[in-house]
């Protein structure tokens, strides 16, 4: 009797376990199915949302970086005559390329292959210091060098949303001359072996006059300052307006340098000191004596 009861109880227990296993399995399968469905929905939606999010995060500096990278690859592909690499930079359908409209990227590669074939070892270098970046468009001077001659042209790249080139054209490069204000204004220094020896700031350029602040390093044996105004006597020369204690002249040189000379003995410093010298443009935002 006792054995019979135990057998019945064990049979019921097995049936219950089987039922629980089926329930757990069904629940697990339902959970996996739900996760798969949700994942599919997420993946379907994520393509658009991630793309929009990445577009929103591209600031002007990042856009410039992408454009510069493409320009460098363009020049490199021409230098190496790697036409597969060249066509990879273009969209499948190109709106405009050197006078040709609505052509394929394969046709672009063929145009360049034919053009370079008639040149003597051409090399292409983009002047990235003068690159101009606009929304979906970049303009940059490119220097083309051959064995016996060279030319500079202005290249204009137009991009699509994925930064494939959809249009490209060239035109003669005309360097824009800087205004006198842009040429003269700035901070300039004489830099010695261990320290900056002298400093001049030229500012408030207006109607061929400007203000200046000139100083010899206060940490040296020469401690002197001169603040005043100067007037241009030509595009590259200027003289100080007040010449009672110190009369100096300024000469604008190439590569953003200014030469300062004392026109007569200056009373703002000792006989062993001088404001004279060639001052070079100081490229950092702020200036402090070290």
From first to last of its 290 residues, the chain has per-residue pLDDT tens of 444 444 444 444 445 545 555 544 544 455 445 434 434 433 443 333 333 444 456 888 899 999 999 999 999 999 999 999 999 999 999 999 999 999 999 999 999 999 999 898 999 999 999 999 998 999 999 999 998 889 999 999 999 999 999 999 999 998 878 889 999 999 999 987 677 889 999 999 988 899 999 999 888 888 899 999 999 999 999 999 877 789 999 999 988 899 999 998 899 998 889 999 999 998 876 777 66
Evaluate whether 282 touches 188 at the Cβ level (below 8 Å). yes
* 194 within a domain of the structure (yes/no): yes
- Note whether 160 and 184 are same-domain residues: no
Domain finish residue from 153, 172, 191: 172
Evaluate whether 89 touches 108 at the Cβ level (below 8 Å). no
**Phi, psi (deg, nearest 5) at residue 271:** -65, -25
- Note whether 208 and 230 are same-domain residues: yes
- Note whether 196 and 235 are same-domain residues: yes
Burial class (CB in 10 A: 0-12, 13-18, 19+), 143: middle
* 6 within a domain of the structure (yes/no): no
Domain finish residue from 127, 151, 172: 172
- Note whether 76 and 155 are same-domain residues: yes
* 267 within a domain of the structure (yes/no): yes
Domain extent for 85: 60-172
- Note whether 258 and 216 are same-domain residues: yes
DSSP states of the chain as a string? -HHHHHHHHHHHHHHHHHHHHHHHHHHHHHHHHHHHHHHHHHHHHHHHHHHHHHHHH--HHHHHHHHHHHHHHHHHHHHHT-HHHHHHTB-SEEEEETTEEEEEHHHHHHHHHHHHHTSSS-EEEE-GGG-EEETTEEEEEEEEE-SS-EEEEEEEEEE-TT--EEEEEEEE--PPPPPHHHHH-EEEEEE-SSSEEEEEEEEEEETTEEEEEEEE-TTSS---EEEEEEEEEETTEEEES--SS--EEEEEETTTEEEEEESS--TTS-TT----EEEEE--SS-----
In this prediction, residue 195 carries a pLDDT of: 75
Burial class (CB in 10 A: 0-12, 13-18, 19+), 32: exposed
- Note whether 89 and 155 are same-domain residues: yes
Q: Would you say the C-alpha torsion 234, 240, 241, 243 has a positive or negative sign?
A: negative
Quote the number of domains for the chain.
2
Position of tokens 């490069």? 173
- Note whether 77 and 107 are same-domain residues: yes
Evaluate whether 104 touches 155 at the Cβ level (below 8 Å). no
Residue from 180, 182, 213 nearest 199 by CA: 213
* 262 within a domain of the structure (yes/no): yes
In this prediction, residue 112 carries a pLDDT of: 96
**Phi, psi (deg, nearest 5) at residue 93:** -115, 120
Give bridge partners of residue 237 from the DSSP assignment.
234, 251
Domain finish residue from 155, 172, 189: 172
CATH assignment of the domain containing 92: 3.10.450.50
Pairing of strands 237-240, 248-253: antiparallel
- Note whether 157 and 200 are same-domain residues: no
* 82 within a domain of the structure (yes/no): yes
* 30 within a domain of the structure (yes/no): no
* 109 within a domain of the structure (yes/no): yes
Position of tokens 């363009």? 74
pTM of the predicted protein model: 0.50
- Note whether 160 and 239 are same-domain residues: no
* 8 within a domain of the structure (yes/no): no
Evaluate whether 216 touches 197 at the Cβ level (below 8 Å). yes
């Amino acid at each position: 009797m006792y054995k019979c009861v135990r057998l019945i109880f064990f049979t019921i227990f097995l049936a219950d376990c089987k039922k629980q296993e089926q329930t757990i399995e069904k629940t697990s399968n339902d959970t996996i199915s739900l996760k798969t469905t949700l994942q599919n929905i997420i993946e379907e939606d994520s393509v658009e949302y991630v793309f929009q999010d990445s577009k929103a995060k591209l600031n002007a500096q990042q856009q410039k970086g992408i454009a510069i990278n493409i320009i460098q690859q363009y020049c490199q592909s021409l230098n190496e005559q790697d036409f597969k690499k060249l066509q990879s930079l273009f969209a499948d359908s190109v709106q405009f390329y050197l006078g040709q409209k609505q052509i394929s990227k394969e046709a672009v590669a063929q145009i360049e292959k034919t053009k370079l074939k008639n040149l003597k070892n051409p090399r292409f270098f983009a002047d990235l210091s003068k690159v101009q970046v606009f929304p979906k468009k970049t303009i940059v001077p490119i220097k083309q060098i051959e064995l016996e001659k060279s030319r500079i042209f202005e290249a204009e790249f137009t991009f699509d949303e994925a930064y494939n080139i959809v249009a490209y054209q060239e035109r003669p490069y005309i360097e824009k001359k800087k205004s006198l204000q842009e040429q003269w204004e700035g901070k300039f220094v004489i830099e010695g072996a261990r320290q900056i020896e002298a400093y001049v700031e030229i500012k408030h350029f207006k109607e061929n006059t400007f203000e200046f602040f000139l100083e010899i390093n206060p940490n040296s044996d020469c401690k002197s300052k001169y603040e005043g105004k100067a007037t241009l006597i030509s595009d590259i020369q200027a003289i100080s307006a007040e010449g009672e204690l110190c009369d100096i002249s300024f000469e604008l040189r190439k590569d953003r340098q200014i030469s300062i000379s004392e026109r007569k003995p200056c009373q703002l410093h000792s006989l062993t000191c001088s404001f004279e010298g060639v001052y070079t443009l100081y490229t950092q935002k702020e200036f402090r004596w070290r």
